[in-house]
Structure formats: C-alpha cells, structure tokens
Amino acid sequence: MSRPVYDTISDRDRAFVFCLKQFSISRTPNQKGICLVRDNEVQAAVCYDWFTGTNCFMHVAAKPGARWMTRDFLKWTFHYPFVQQGLQRVSGWVEANNTAARRFDEHLGFKHEATLEGAGQSGVDVLIYTMKRQDCRYV
C-alpha cells in the first residue's frame, strides 16, 4: 500500500463526485473539497460549503472498509476551515436514524446543536452537529 496523498483543497470536483456516490449532496458555488488518495484511488473525501465568514458545512464520505481516518488526514480536514479560512465553527447535518454517522461525528468532537424536525428524507429529523475551533483537537 502506498503512502496516502492528499489532493489540494481546490479539488472540489473529485471530492464532490466521491461524496455524491455515498449520499445525496448538492453542488454549491463556493464548494471546496479534499480527498485522501491511495494507489490512485480516493479512500475518503470532505466537501465544504455554505461559507458564512464564521461557519461552513462539512460533508464527509469514505470508501466502505477503507482505513482512512488517520490523525494526519484529520489535521488536514480541520486545518482548512479553522486555520486557512479562519472560521470559528464548522457544522454538519445527519439524519437522526443514521446512528453510524452520529457516532462518528461525536467521536470527532462534534456536539449536537439543533434538531430540524421532519427535514430529512422521508420526513426523518435532521440533527445539526457543530464543532467550535477552540474545541477542535486536530488544529
């Protein structure tokens, strides 16, 4: 297995296409992305969108069974919004019935901030998770 390569943060197309294969996501005008690539194949990707000056949304996708969540990749993932963009917080949304995604977000340090009742597919609740820069252990 070759050493992982991180595509540039501006590789929004590759990240978007990879994320779209994993879940429903819409293209946005200011979307950015980063990919973890091993042996020329994307293992994981993060898309960033809806930048407000203090916050953006993060969307994370990974190849099933891939061993991608390294401390190095997490540093890259959070460096972009918190250091490069100077944001104070990042947000993510998870459908309430997606227990694996909820556990993943909470493991990373995201906190449940709000519930959008019935806003998800098929009327399921959507949970908004956030991480503030001062609480991020990866930067």
What span, in angstroms and rounded, lies between the C-alpha atoms of 59 and 99? 16
pLDDT (0 to 100) of residue 26: 76
* Cβ–Cβ < 8 Å for 2, 14: no
Q: Could you tell me the two tokens for 103? A: 């556990």
Q: What are the tens digits of pLDDT across the range 4-61?
A: 555 445 566 788 877 777 877 778 778 889 888 888 888 888 989 999 999 999 998 8
What span, in angstroms and rounded, lies between the C-alpha atoms of 135 and 139? 9
Domain CATH for 16:
3.40.630.30
pLDDT (0 to 100) of residue 81: 96
> Averaged over 111-125, what is the pLDDT?
95
Which residue, among 106, 124, 126, has the nearest Cα to 116 in the 3D structure? Answer: 126
For the purposes of burial, counting CB atoms within 10 Å of the CB of 11, is it exposed (0-12), middle (13-18) or buried (19 or more)? middle
Q: Which domain holds residue 83?
A: 5-135
* Cβ–Cβ < 8 Å for 43, 60: no
Q: Which residues neighbour 122 within 8 Å (Cβ) at sequence distance 6 or greater? A: none
Sheet arrangement for strand 111-116:
5-6, 32-38, 41-49, 55-62, 89-95, 126-132, 111-116
pTM: 0.85
User: With b meaning 16 or more CB within 10 Å and e meaning fewer, what string describes 94-117?
Assistant: bbeebeebbebbeebebeeeeeee
Query: Where is pLDDT greater, at 37 or 133?
Result: 133
Number of domains in the chain: 1
Kindly calculate the radius of gyration of the chain based on its CA atoms and give it in whole angstroms.
14
pLDDT (0 to 100) of residue 8: 47
Q: What are the tens digits of pLDDT across the range 57-111?
A: 999 888 887 778 788 888 989 999 999 999 999 999 999 999 989 999 999 999 9
